[in-house]
A and B are shown apart, each in its own frame.
Chain A
Amino acid sequence: KAGVTQTPRYLIKTRGQQVTLSCSPISGHRSVSWYQQTPGQGLQFLFEYFSETQRNKGNFPGRFSGRQFSNSRSEMNVSTLELGDSALYLCASSPFSYGYTFGSGTRLTVV
């Protein structure tokens, strides 16, 4: 059974650019959630999607957005990148929003 797949694994971007990260959940899982991990702030919830609907959003600026497709795959987008956006971005999938399986993450470096 394939796990949660995040692409790309590593990314280097320049300040002001935008970036799109992808998450493919476990087959049959309809909930996908996104998290940001930094050394200073730890793990923080970004947003959660279920059947293409965003059900909850964390305290992040509007530059952070996401969406979920009909096949449950999800993307998150960060526009106008700032140095502070450098982080490990993790997604997790779940069949019912509890009991999460995490991906390996995308490590984003903004220079």
Chain B
Amino acid sequence: KNEVEQSPQNLTAQEGEFITINCSYSVGISALHWLQQHPGGGIVSLFMLSSGKKKHGRLIATINIQEKHSSLHITASHPRDSAVYICAVTLGSSYKLIFGSGTRLLVRP
């Protein structure tokens, strides 16, 4: 079993829809990260969370430490949101990132 599990693996939405991507982890963490990767490879760090909720524009990330679960929400989705979204965790007191397999999102106009 992978230490970081994401769902769904693929997601197609219509422009304007509310989108949720889920991430569950099975290890002790010091932080959880949501990353965005566009075709061509560049990765952008969207959020780093250790508790609670963060919001940036139309993106919202939440984490429940007790349930070892995090969600990334996109409100009013737009075709430019089409990308791969990756959940990653920093293990305990180490400096090691463990990645989920990613969610490929396609937003149709």
Contact = CB atoms under 8 A, between A and B. Distances in A.
B90 A105 contact: no
Interface string B44-58: 110010000000000
Contact residues on A (Cβ < 8 Å of other chain), bracket: 20 to 34
Interface stretch (B15-23, B63-71, B75-83, B94-102): B94-102
A44 to B, nearest CB: 7
Interface of A: 31, 33, 35, 37, 42-45, 48, 50, 55-56, 58, 88, 90, 92, 97-102, 104-105, 107
B60 to A, nearest CB: 18
Interface string B84-109: 00101010001111111110000000
Contacts, number: 55
A99 B42 contact: no
B96 A48 contact: yes
B31 interface: yes
Contacts of A33: 95, 97
Secondary structure dominating the interface of B: strand
Interface of B: 30-31, 33, 35, 40-45, 48, 86, 88, 90, 94-102
Contacts of A48: 95-96
B48 A42 contact: no
24 contacts: A35-B97, A37-B41, A42-B99, A42-B101, A42-B102, A43-B88, A44-B99, A45-B99, A48-B95, A48-B96, A55-B94, A56-B95, A90-B41, A97-B95, A99-B48, A100-B33, A100-B45, A101-B45, A102-B35, A102-B42, A102-B44, A102-B45, A104-B40, A105-B41
Contact of B96 (A31, A58, A104): A58
Contacts of A58: 96
A105 B42 contact: yes
A42 B40 CA distance: 15
Contact of B42 (A42, A56, A100, A104): A104
